[in-house]
Amino acid sequence: MSGFVIRRVSGLKGSVSIPGDKSVAHRAVILGALSKGKTVIENFPFNEDCLSTVVVFKQLGISINKRSESVIEVKGNGLYGLRKAVSPIFVGESGTTFRLMTGLLAGQGFKTELVAGKVLSGRPMLRVTRPLRLMGADIAGCRRNQDEYPPLTIQGKVLHSITYRLPVASAQVKGAILLAGLYASGKTKVIEQMATRDHTERMMQLFKAKFSAKGNVVMVKGGGELVSPRKIYVPGDISSAAFFMVAAAIVPGSEITIKNITLNPSRMGIVKVLKRMGVKLTVKGKKVSGREPMGDIVVRSSILKATTISKDEVPSLIDEIPVLMVAAALAKGKTVFKEVGELRVKETDRIRSMTENLRKMGGKIIVLKAGDSESIEISGTGLKGSIVKSFGDHRTAMSMIVAGLAAAGPVKIEDISCIKKSFPGFVRAITGLTGKLS
């Protein structure tokens, strides 16, 4: 068997540190660039997505330097200190960069063209451009299939505030509106029907923006200069840690400690669901870094039982669903993921990528229509070896590696290079806990 082959291992043991949280890191760079002076960002994840944000700001005249393997320094020019890029800006495949920057660029005094890579060019942008246009933004994109797609040409305008009720539970959309709100006259309010990750809000508070939050309403007042905290430590990414949590839970004889992981309540869905599934998981050494809580997560191998993931829980674990589907395939009983249609518009259609792969491994999966969305039911059957695909998606690839660690036979994945989008050192980190893999 050529390609990347994973065989069952006898246990994961030891401790592992995970690169910084992607969502937090993007926002640290953005607000660092918009405040005056230096911001040092520690535990910065050098993955393709976060480097996209760095490249974008360099093109907008911001100096960003690598200080060491995991530290960067951003020299901000203040709220009104960005410069017009000399050419269209290529954002690569980072959806978070693209959507957040669309909001930020809408309020600048210049025009920018944002160009995306092949896959991101097929991901929907109307969810961001629609509210921004309500604020007075001048954006031209590619309209088709009742949506809008990159590239986007953003002619900066004087913006005005809005009160916007989010129709899609999306932290990227919320973040884009709040960033535009920094440049708008008056108070921009975003109302959430379902809570999504709140890293933009926490970072704005850390940088002393005129920000407030009450219940499900967040508000930012435009025009105030930001003040850098000078140093930010980015807690480990719980979406990356999730692969290790599930791996340790499903491989008998495992006990691992995952160090310094974000414990932000809006990201704790994975922890809550794994505990409901019977996973022996404990959190210790809680502390706060900037505005973000973090701590160590200890996981031991466990007998898993099925659970139901409710619609309201989905935003708190949206990126962890692929690996939770692996856990579900190995749990006793029927696990239900309610209204997870958003998975269709991620880096790949993750409902398709994960159902196709897990079915090849013997998984029993049903996808059902549920209102405007779709739900997934997985009956725990155990998993056998097979040849599966990454579909060019980092989280599908890492989920299938985790599945291979517990499957009855070898699992071959034809291409795992996509993993560098979020976690270039993933295979090395897993190998550190299991010994040789492939």
Q: Applying CB under 6 A, which residues contact ligand S3P?
A: 23, 96, 170-172, 175, 197, 318-319
**Nearest distance, CB of residue 171 and ligand S3P, angstroms:** 3
**Residue 321 vs 383, nearer CB to ligand S3P:** 321
The candidate with the shortest Cα–Cα distance to 171, out of 34, 56, 316, is: 316
Are residues 204 and 15 in contact, defined by beta-carbon separation less than 8 angstroms?
Answer: no
- Residue closer to ligand S3P (CB basis): 173 or 407: 173
First to last CA, the chain: 10
Nearest-5° Cα angle at 208, 264 to 175: 55
Output the smallest distance, CB 175 to ligand S3P, in A. 6
By beta-carbon proximity to ligand S3P, the closer residue of 234 and 318 is 318
Cβ distance to ligand S3P smaller for residue 171 or 209: 171
| Helix (H/G/I), strand (E/B), else coil: 76 | strand
Give min distance, CB of 266 to ligand S3P, in A: 10
Q: Is 49 a catalytic residue?
A: no
Q: How far is the CB of 431 from ligand S3P (least distance, A)?
A: 25
Closest CB to ligand S3P among residues 4, 243: 243
Nearer to ligand S3P, 24 or 433 (CB): 24
Q: How many C-beta neighbours within 10 Å does residue 111 have?
A: 13
Tell how strand 255-262 and strand 163-165 pair up.
Answer: unpaired
In the complex, the smallest distance separating the C-beta of residue 418 from ligand S3P, rounded to whole angstroms, is: 14
Work out how close the CB of 127 gets to ligand S3P at its nearest, in angstroms, rounded to a whole number: 8
Instruction: Pull the structure tokens for residue 167.
Output: 């129709």
Structural tokens at position 122? 């097929």
Handedness of CA 93, 95, 99, 104 (dihedral sign): negative
- Is 383 within 8 Å of 330 (Cβ atoms)? yes
Which residue among 21, 49, 296, 319 is the active-site one? Answer: 319
What is the enclosing helix (H) or strand (E) of 180?
A: helix 171-181
The closest alpha carbon to 292, from 379, 205, 406, 409, belongs to 205
What DSSP string describes 228-269?
A: --SEEEPPBPHHHHHHHHHHHHHSTT-EEEEEEEE--GGGTH
Residue type, 253: G
Which three-class secondary structure state does DSSP give residue 154?
Answer: strand
Residues annotated as part of the active site: 319
